[in-house]
């Protein structure tokens, strides 16, 4: 009978001990919330209230146990039956006080302006003086993908990583242009539906995904005052509107003697984002069109015409001036006019209207976008979108006392007690004037006649009745093409006996063809430079005045 020999247990060598220690530390993990016990990776956990026991234990005499045992707390070294509940131990532990976090260096500069009364701090960024450091390539690529107006092109290029990398390396948020488009597109000929043309559907959707453009209209009878208001921001940049519009069209009746100075002031107020596309005049009637500088490439050549309604044609105080152009495939007509004055001269004002619609010779060289819906007797039928504004001189057919009583009875912005006596509204309902035109609801008080410099209606001996003489009307070939966003008066400008009237509209656009004479980016360059020069000079003077004022408030005690 053979006897089995059992060799005595040999302790592992240093290399094996080191390997065992490493393997044990890899397999065993510390379970949070269990008093810091060491568990093997194969341990199965039950509910939180059950005791967790490792399936394999490490020999007490091994170096691994000695190393890990040094990290056990006194409570964990006791037998399991004598250990305290980990939850009680957690509750009894004192509150840990963390030391304040100290920045490793100076905090980075903030990249935006803000004002916080709670934090008692403010930060203002002068974007013109920023040091444009390039961000990380990853964040730049994300911003490019988010900001590019033609995101569909990026999506179609998503599988071509080389193309996307080449695109994003330009550090630009402009719409990408393929080499093939540069080779093939001349922008001189368009297809039947305008696809691939400069004024076609692709370009239109790139700049206006909803195919609507913002138009700002302002009309003001300046009463021939030589001195312009110190600030025109209330006229062009009202505080109740957050964003600017794509086109600004300003009509003036009885304008100031220096028309060029008026246009420079408009350019100075609108700033470098806008250029004057065109301007025309008829005596003291001024009409100016400003456009965003990146949109002038999609405008046709601009045409204008004038009409005199006075019997003596040399006196150009009453009449009209019109400007027309095509934007993409949509034709626009803007008319500002000044009708005959007088409370009872309704018939004469209707004659003024009829003469203007028949005699305004537009368009001249521009093609009619829809000749089948045009008539030779009405100029407003030859264009897709028409805005007619000015001093129409229609009055309220009530005496002053009744009008003032109605004004005191108005609730909120409801001006219906006044509008129901308006001569223009009555004539439009009867169909004798402004056929096919519409007007946004009136929610402002009459704009005529004020004492200059205050909000008091006429206190002269004539005691004129307050009236809605200044209006903005519109019509379109397709229903609902023009949507009125805002229609109000500008009460902040008081240098005339009239208050300006402003309106904001969203206008439907349609793609066009390149068979029209393009404006090729033309605008009044000298006016632009002078307006920006004055704007910079004004800002420098303002900063210098603020600096001198701050220095004058510092007093020194010797």
> Is 35:89 a contact under the CB 8 Å cutoff?
yes
Each residue's pLDDT tens digit, 27-36: 444 444 444 4
The answer to whether the peptide bond before residue 318 is cis (omega within 30 degrees of 0) is: no
> Is 506:483 a contact under the CB 8 Å cutoff?
yes
Q: Which residue has the higher pLDDT, 45 or 199?
A: 199
Q: Which residue has the higher pLDDT, 344 or 167?
A: 344
CATH class, 201-535 region: alpha beta
Percentage, residues of the chain above pLDDT 90: 53
Tokens matching residue 515: 């068979």
Q: Are strands 121-123 and 212-221 parallel, antiparallel or unpaired?
A: unpaired
Helices (H), 332-399: 346-359
What is 241-279 written as a DSSP string? --S--SEEEEEEES--S-HHHHHHHHHHHHGGGEEEEEE
Residues 534, 541: Cα–Cα separation, whole Å: 10
Provide the pLDDT for residue 516.
86
Other beta carbons within 10 angstroms of residue 436's beta carbon come to 15
Q: Name residue 327's beta-bridge partners.
A: 299, 330
Measuring CA to CA, which residue among 333, 342, 347, 339 is closest to residue 320?
Answer: 339
Opening angle at CA 233, ends 229 and 239, nearest 5: 135
Match 């009878």 to its residue by tokens.
Answer: 221
When computed from its CA atoms, the radius of gyration of the chain, rounded to whole angstroms, is 39
Provide the pLDDT for residue 36.
44
Residues 336, 213: Cα–Cα separation, whole Å: 21
Provide the pLDDT for residue 236.
97
pLDDT at 452 over 50: yes
Predicted model pTM: 0.70
Match 């966003």 to its residue by tokens.
Answer: 485
Residues 223, 240: Cα–Cα separation, whole Å: 27
Residues 427, 502: Cα–Cα separation, whole Å: 22
> Is 185:196 a contact under the CB 8 Å cutoff?
yes
Provide the pLDDT for residue 88.
56
Provide the pLDDT for residue 371.
79
Q: Which helix (H) or strand (E) holds 456?
A: none
pLDDT at 51 over 80: no
Measuring CA to CA, which residue among 460, 459, 453 is closest to residue 499?
Answer: 453
pLDDT at 11 over 90: no
Each residue's pLDDT tens digit, 321-338: 999 999 999 999 999 999
pLDDT at 345 over 80: yes
Q: What is the largest CA-CA distance in the chain?
A: 147
**In the chain, where the domains are located:** 138-184, 201-535
pLDDT at 462 over 80: yes
Measuring CA to CA, which residue among 383, 298, 268 is closest to residue 276?
Answer: 268
Measuring CA to CA, which residue among 398, 410, 369 is closest to residue 386?
Answer: 369
Contacts of 337 (CB under 8 A, 6+ apart): 253, 285, 319, 320, 321, 352, 356, 388, 390, 391, 392
What is 500-524 written as a DSSP string? -EEEEEEEE-----S-S-B-TT---
Q: Name residue 448's beta-bridge partners.
A: 467, 498
Helices (H), 193-246: 201-207, 233-236
Q: Is 130 exposed, middle or buried (0-12, 13-18, 19+ CB in 10 A)?
A: exposed
Provide the pLDDT for residue 553.
57
Contacts of 72 (CB under 8 A, 6+ apart): 36
The confidence band for 75, taking pLDDT boundaries of 50, 70 and 90, is low
Measuring CA to CA, which residue among 60, 56, 33 is closest to residue 44?
Answer: 56
Provide the pLDDT for residue 557.
55
pLDDT at 74 over 90: no
Provide the pLDDT for residue 372.
76
Other beta carbons within 10 angstroms of residue 63's beta carbon come to 16
Q: Which residue has the higher pLDDT, 471 or 38?
A: 471
Provide the pLDDT for residue 347.
97
Each residue's pLDDT tens digit, 484-500: 999 999 999 999 999 99
Provide the pLDDT for residue 313.
63
Q: Which residue has the higher pLDDT, 507 or 28?
A: 507
DSSP 209: T
The confidence band for 43, taking pLDDT boundaries of 50, 70 and 90, is very low
Residues 507, 213: Cα–Cα separation, whole Å: 5
Match 């009867």 to its residue by tokens.
Answer: 430
pLDDT at 440 over 80: yes
Percentage, residues of the chain above pLDDT 70: 68
**Mean pLDDT calculated for residue range 382-398:** 97
**Mean pLDDT calculated for residue range 17-21:** 51
Residues 263, 276: Cα–Cα separation, whole Å: 9
Residues 532, 175: Cα–Cα separation, whole Å: 27
**Mean pLDDT calculated for residue range 53-71:** 48
Match 């402004």 to its residue by tokens.
Answer: 434
> Residue 379 phi/psi, 5° resolution?
-65, -30
User: Which range, of 155-169, 261-275, 479-493, averages the lowest pLDDT?
Assistant: 155-169
pLDDT at 311 over 80: no
Tokens matching residue 81: 């039956």
3-class DSSP assignment, residue 88: helix
Give the rounded distance of the alpha carbon of 459 from its chain centre: 42
pLDDT at 167 over 70: no
Match 């403010």 to its residue by tokens.
Answer: 122
Q: Name residue 281's beta-bridge partners.
A: 286
Q: Which residue has the higher pLDDT, 19 or 483?
A: 483
Measuring CA to CA, which residue among 288, 295, 369 is closest to residue 326?
Answer: 369
Provide the pLDDT for residue 101.
75
**Mean pLDDT calculated for residue range 75-101:** 62
Residues 2, 9: Cα–Cα separation, whole Å: 22
The confidence band for 185, taking pLDDT boundaries of 50, 70 and 90, is low
Tokens matching residue 88: 């009680």
Whole-number average pLDDT of the chain: 79
Residues 289, 280: Cα–Cα separation, whole Å: 9
Tokens matching residue 212: 């609507």
CA distances from 392 to 223, 353, 467 (A): 14, 9, 11
The confidence band for 114, taking pLDDT boundaries of 50, 70 and 90, is confident
pLDDT at 69 over 60: no
pLDDT at 95 over 80: no
Give the rounded distance of the alpha carbon of 314 from its chain centre: 44
């Amino acid at each position: 009978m053979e006897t089995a020999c059992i060799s005595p247990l040999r302790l592992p060598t240093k290399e094996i001990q080191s390997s065992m220690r490493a393997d044990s530390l890899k397999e065993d993990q510390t379970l949070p919330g269990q008093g810091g016990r060491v568990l093997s990776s194969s341990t199965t956990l039950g509910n939180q209230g059950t005791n967790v026991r490792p399936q394999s234990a490490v020999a007490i005499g091994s170096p691994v146990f000695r190393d890990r045992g040094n990290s056990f707390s006194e409570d964990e070294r006791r037998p399991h039956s004598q250990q305290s509940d980990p939850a009680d131990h957690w509750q009894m532990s004192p509150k840990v006080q963390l030391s304040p976090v100290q920045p490793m260096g100076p905090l980075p500069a903030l990249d935006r302006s803000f004002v916080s009364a709670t934090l008692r701090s403010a930060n203002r960024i002068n974007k013109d003086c920023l040091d444009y450091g390039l961000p990380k390539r990853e964040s730049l690529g994300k911003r490019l993908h988010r900001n590019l107006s033609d995101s569909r092109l990026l999506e179609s290029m998503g599988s071509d990583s080389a193309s996307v990398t080449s695109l994003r390396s330009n550090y630009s948020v402009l719409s990408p242009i393929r080499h093939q488009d540069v080779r093939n597109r001349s922008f001189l000929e368009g297809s039947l539906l305008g696809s691939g043309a400069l004024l076609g559907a692709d370009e239109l959707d790139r700049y206006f995904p909803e195919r609507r453009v913002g138009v700002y209209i302002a009309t003001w009878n300046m009463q021939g005052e030589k001195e312009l208001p110190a600030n025109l921001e209330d006229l062009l940049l009202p505080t109740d509107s957050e964003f600017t519009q794509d086109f600004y069209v300003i009509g003036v009746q009885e304008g100031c003697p220096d028309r060029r100075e008026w246009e420079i002031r408009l350019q100075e107020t609108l700033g470098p984002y806008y250029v004057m596309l065109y301007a025309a005049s008829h005596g003291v009637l001024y009409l100016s069109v400003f456009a965003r500088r990146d949109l002038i490439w999609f405008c046709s050549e601009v045409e204008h015409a004038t009409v005199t309604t006075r019997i003596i044609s040399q006196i150009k105080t009453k009449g009209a001036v019109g400007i027309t152009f095509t934007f993409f495939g949509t034709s626009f007509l803007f008319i500002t006019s000044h009708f005959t004055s007088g409370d009872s001269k309704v018939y004469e004002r209707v004659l003024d209207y009829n003469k203007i619609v028949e005699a305004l010779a537009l368009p001249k060289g521009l093609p009619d976008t829809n000749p089948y819906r045009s008539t030779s007797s009405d100029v407003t039928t030859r264009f897709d979108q028409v805005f007619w504004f000015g001093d129409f001189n229609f009055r309220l057919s009530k005496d002053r006392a009744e009008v003032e009583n109605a004004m005191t009875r108005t609730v909120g912005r409801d001006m219906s007690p006044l509008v129901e006596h308006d001569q223009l509204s009555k004539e439009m309902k009867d169909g004798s004037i402004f056929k096919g035109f519409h007007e946004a609801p009136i929610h402002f008080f009459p704009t005529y006649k004020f004492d200059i410099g205050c909000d008091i209606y006429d206190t002269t001996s004539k005691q004129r009745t307050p009236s809605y003489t200044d209006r903005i009307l519109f019509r379109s070939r397709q229903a609902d093409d023009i949507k009125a966003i805002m229609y109000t008066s500008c009460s902040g400008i008081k240098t005339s006996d009239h208050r300006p009237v402003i309106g904001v509209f969203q206008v439907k656009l349609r793609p066009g063809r390149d068979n029209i004479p393009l404006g090729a980016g033309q605008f009044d360059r000298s006016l632009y430079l002078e307006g920006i020069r004055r704007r910079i000079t004004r800002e420098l003077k303002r900063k210098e005045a603020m600096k001198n004022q701050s220095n004058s408030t510092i007093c020194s005690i010797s």
